[in-house]
Amino acid sequence: MSDESVDATDAHLLGIIDEYMGAFEPDPAESVGLRERILQIVREDAALAPATKLTTERGNPFRISTAEVRSIIRGAVDAVPGVRARSVTATPAGDPEGSAVDITMTVMMSAGTAFVSAAEDVRRSVADALAAHLGIPATRIDVTVEDVFVDEEGSHG
């Protein structure tokens, strides 16, 4: 990567960080070194793995590690009782593209878990996590049960 492209990338990232900081107004004591830390994290992610292209509410495109997006979604799924994430695909959507995301996932459910209510809990949890972590809404969240597991804690030996 040339110094010129790094400078352009840093300038673009600083614009996104300024947008974030302007929208959320963090406590000045908490923001010391925040810009440099965010730049460091983004550089590390960009160097390590494939990225998903998304867009902020104000239309600034950004890239985030696809693994990180999947991790956010898996964490949200695993937070739902009786459900465990398996495969996760996040596809940029919306207008402009990347201003939202379509999610397709497979999950395992504990035997005896009611699918309809658990699937709604999964959708709500994933949508909340995407909004909280990325500021991006989900336009679609497709949930397919791929497997059933027995919760050992609830079984009698």
What are the domain boundaries of the chain? 3-48, 67-154
3-state percent helix, strand, coil for the chain, nearest multiple of 5: 45, 30, 25
- pTM (predicted TM-score): 0.67
Query: What mean pLDDT comes out for the span 8-20?
Result: 69
CATH class of the structural domain 67-154: alpha beta
Cis peptide before 96 (omega within 30 of 0): yes
- pLDDT, residue 73, reads 96
SS3 state of residue 25? coil
Name residue 91's amino acid: T
Sheet holding 138-149, edge to edge: 83-93, 100-110, 138-149
Q: Which one has a higher pLDDT value, 147 or 59?
A: 147
Q: What's the pLDDT score for residue 29? A: 60
Residue of higher predicted confidence among 36 and 144: 144
Q: What is the pLDDT of residues 66-125, one digit of tens each?
A: 888 999 999 999 999 999 999 999 999 998 889 999 999 999 999 999 999 999 999 999
Per-residue pLDDT at 143: 97
